[in-house]
Structure 1
């Protein structure tokens, strides 16, 4: 029989146990974390747990910064202090590699540089009054959609690729996928700057459906939001990269290792992230089924397997048309629709 972990209880017990083992240390390193918006609550738990380990004894996490992934990445590239960066998607990390801030081999490790993962879901009003089940429902006449703006938010790019990929996975052509996305943008009620701002807009009454991370939906329900969420039959695996910067203290690399450890992944699972390692059965408050919080969709798309990786996908779908670069397929559709302008 598998051992069942009640995640919140395990996490709390781990913090207490580790704290009891820690002692005085001369290590007064502060690790400055810069991350995308939805990490904030989860990271607070990890900071506390890490500070109670031998590696984290004396380490502090003063002044973490959270916001839309693209804006955070550009901020670090422009000089914002950062010892450890944790973004929504790889192009935001690539920007820092190109700037010499993150090492070129940042993903040469067991997780390929990934610290957290999730899937794209559809958040709906309590009871799902409009019967939203899959991507075709989002372009009905009676449905309006909230999703972040891909110009600033990594979450938005995952959402839009999931929608586009559903058409292709169902046997549709690139032209049919583009036609569907044109319809979808016509149904967009708001394009907030970040995933967290999009959740706030939806819970404040905007739209019938919010495209979001599964973990963001679970965390919001843990915090008292009264809505439901649907995992569509076809969705996209969201993989969030993280790395220590070139000039970071050793404590940043130690915390990076902790994030990827079994203990770190349990703590992330507590707030709705799908763990990178098999932890056996997990019980997660706020999930549709707390005893089975992370069910497998019928079709799980991946950025590498279905979109040829971010190195290709970012310019092909989200290119800004500046400096001689082509306009991305989805950027062109968004601009033509007037959404977010």
Structure 2
């Protein structure tokens, strides 16, 4: 079953390259305001630059009170690693991850309420699609999933063991096969071929982008927003939205210890104003009514988020992340079987970069 996105317009914006290349680690945006409780934001790596204008715009709202943009204390990294760090005790008021399973891990630990998805956007704060980032001019002529293996492209994608973006990428490849009439054996074979052409599996989506822009590989499997942001910051790359791809939906929630200001910020994240900010960094809005101008760095700034011919979803094709996580990425512990992707990685020796 497929779905197309409505056309939405987005805001142009140029973000400093220093933000794109900043280390994905705990940091603050500046000196915190005396007497004001900071908001600790724990998020997956690609949100680092995109959050800066959102913090600034929230600080200007009545709901922020005396909170300044510098009162956000942030930590960024691979989605799964970030979630596990919160379980281990890392500070977090607002969590924003690549995958739903990284939120449900916190629900299971009593750190996020069970009803976190009961919002107008079902708990989703940002969205994107899986794309191919290619060298400028697309010298290999990569347009489809089949081109990746048929044209012997050297591929970079993050490691599914640590990165949420990697899991979206891999399932998009699986969807290409089964969503177009192929069976499971054909999908397994295609994934094995894809991994055979993969030369690097960095820990996070941001590290994968850095490896590609530093000159490694022919194709980077990535989020559309990562490709747009890289181009905004001067990277000499192009990107291709394949005819069939997977809708990426990134969830956000507050922790059970969050105060009212943090809860107000979570609600602000899906406002038209914040979604325009996120659109400026290449994210597809998750709400209607985002009336913003062109997106610099998009293939067509005036129509930055074209609807693919086939847009698969996790819920429609995979039964949701609650099912897909174990079926495809299970680690074989506690008597559970290895996930399909985990088994293919182990069999091909593509288990991640050292």
**Fold match, TM over 0.5?**
yes
2:134 corresponds to: 124
Q: What SS class does the counterpart of residue 351 from structure 2 fall into?
A: coil
1:89 corresponds to: 99
1:78 corresponds to: 88
- 8 Å Cα contact 1:121-1:214 kept in structure 2: yes
1:40 corresponds to: 48
1:59 corresponds to: 67
Q: CA deviation at 1:117?
A: 0.3
2:313 corresponds to: 302
Residues 29-62 of structure 1: CA deviation (Å, up to 9, x unaligned):
2100000000011101111111111111312434
C-alpha separation between the residues in 1 aligned to 2:9 and 2:215? 38
RMSD of Structure 2 on Structure 1 (CA): 1.8
After superposition, where does 1:255-334 map in structure 2 within 5 Å?
A: 255-278=265-288, 279-280=290-291, 282-334=293-345
- 8 Å Cα contact 1:118-1:238 kept in structure 2: yes
**Which of 171, 176, 184 does residue 161 from structure 1 map onto?**
171
1:339 corresponds to: 350
Q: CA deviation at 1:8?
A: 3.9
- 8 Å Cα contact 1:272-1:287 kept in structure 2: yes
Q: What SS class does the counterpart of residue 250 from structure 2 fall into?
A: strand
2:188 corresponds to: 178
Indicate how the Cα distance of structure 1 residues 127 and 141 shifts in structure 2: closer, same or farther if over 3 A, else same: closer
Q: How many residues align?
A: 325
Unaligned runs of 5+ in 1: 10-24
Indicate how the Cα distance of structure 1 residues 94 and 5 shifts in structure 2: closer, same or farther if over 3 A, else same: closer
Q: Give me the TM-score of the superposition, normalised by structure 2.
A: 0.89
Q: CA deviation at 1:5?
A: 6.6
- 8 Å Cα contact 2:140-2:151 kept in structure 1: no
C-alpha separation between the residues in 1 aligned to 2:327 and 2:8? 45
Residues 159-215 of structure 1: CA deviation (Å, up to 9, x unaligned):
000001000111100110011101111000100000000001111111110000000
Indicate how the Cα distance of structure 1 residues 172 and 255 shifts in structure 2: closer, same or farther if over 3 A, else same: same
2:27 corresponds to: none
Unaligned runs of 5+ in 2: 1-6, 15-32
Residues 104-142 of structure 1: CA deviation (Å, up to 9, x unaligned):
000011111000000000000000000000100111353
Residues 75-99 of structure 1: CA deviation (Å, up to 9, x unaligned):
0011111000000010000100000
More relative contact order in 1 or in 2 (CA 8 Å, sep 6+)?
A: 2
C-alpha separation between the residues in 2 aligned to 1:83 and 1:3? 30
After superposition, where does 1:144-155 map in structure 2 within 5 Å?
A: 144-155=154-165
Q: CA deviation at 1:4?
A: 7.2
- 8 Å Cα contact 2:9-2:303 kept in structure 1: no
Q: What SS class does the counterpart of residue 333 from structure 2 fall into?
A: coil
